[in-house]
Amino acid sequence: MTQDELKTLVGQAAVQHVPAGAIVGVGTGSTVNKFIDALASIKDQIRGAVSSSVASTERLKALGIPVLEASEVESLPVYIDGADEIDAAGNMIKGGGAALTREKIVADLAERFICIADESKLVEVMGNFPLPVEVIPMAAAQVARRLKAQYGGDATLRAGCVTDNGCHILDVRGLKITDPAAMEADVSQWPGVVTVGIFARNKASVCLLGTSEGVRTLTF
């Protein structure tokens, strides 16, 4: 199957993990778009969604799915989103679509994070995909220097990218992230960092992995 077909497969499988009557957390990206399309088939069985991006909100509303603000809910049973990389423990790199801060906020509301991805995203050690770091613009150069000094990563500003929060994205190459939780906790505290795209604190509970043999379910 093509990568697009694998994304469709896991998007459809994810609908089975949405409880009846739920408000569901919805992420961002091409794989999530397949989930949103599938979610429309059960829209009468759910109360609505909390979205992590303007793009996902627009897609949900176009399909007639009510969208609530994160401030309107105290918790969500499930958050469904993709990943740029995921390791064997359920830690992820996210932020290729520049929505990492809002994704982390919605993920933090959820009891379970269900990652939907194709098998190319499963890695032994994260870091081949450039790590996104959302920064306040005036801090970009300062944060880039510190990433180089402390982790040996080469950070470049993502050209033409302004996030939904009005911030910039640094993409960090040359990393081998052997302790995701420690790096997430460290970089998150640096002045000027809004969010680092390591999801270790909010790691996946389940990964629905699209493979040539069908959907493989990984539980962490």
94 annotated ligand-binding residue = yes
29 annotated ligand-binding residue = yes
Over residues 37-80, the pLDDT tens digits come to 999 999 999 999 999 999 999 999 999 999 999 999 999 999 99
pLDDT at 1: 81
pLDDT at 21: 96
pLDDT at 48: 97
121 annotated ligand-binding residue = yes
Kindly report the number of other CB atoms within 10 A of residue 109's CB atom.
17
Mean pLDDT across the chain: 97
153 annotated ligand-binding residue = no
Above pLDDT 70, what percent of the chain? 100
pLDDT at 212: 87
152 annotated ligand-binding residue = no
Catalytic (active site) residue 72:
no
| Set 85, 103, 134, 184: catalytic member | 103
108 annotated ligand-binding residue = no
Phi-psi region of 89 (alpha: psi -120 to 50; beta: other; left: phi over 0): alpha
Share of the chain residues as helix, strand and coil, in percent rounded to the nearest 5: 35, 30, 35
Q: How far apart are CA 103 and CA 20, in angstroms?
A: 23
Q: What is the mean pLDDT of residues 154-168?
A: 97
57 annotated ligand-binding residue = no
Q: Reply yes or no on whether the pLDDT at 114 is more than 90.
A: yes
Of 7, 207, 212, 210, nearest to 88 by C-alpha is 207
Q: What one-character-per-residue DSSP string does 90-148 give? A: S-EE--TTS-HHHHHHHHHHBS-EEEEEEGGGB-SSB-SSPEEEEE-GGGHHHHHHHHH
Q: Which domains does the chain have, with CATH numbers?
A: 3-124+201-219 (3.40.50.1360), 131-196 (3.30.70.260)
pLDDT at 3: 86
Q: Reply yes or no on whether the pLDDT at 108 is more than 90.
A: yes
Q: How far apart are CA 32 and CA 26, in angstroms?
A: 7
Q: How far apart are CA 86 and CA 93, in angstroms?
A: 7
Q: Reply yes or no on whether the pLDDT at 87 is more than 90.
A: yes
Over residues 166-220, the pLDDT tens digits come to 999 999 999 999 999 999 999 999 999 999 999 999 999 999 999 989 999 999 9
Q: Reply yes or no on whether the pLDDT at 133 is more than 90.
A: yes
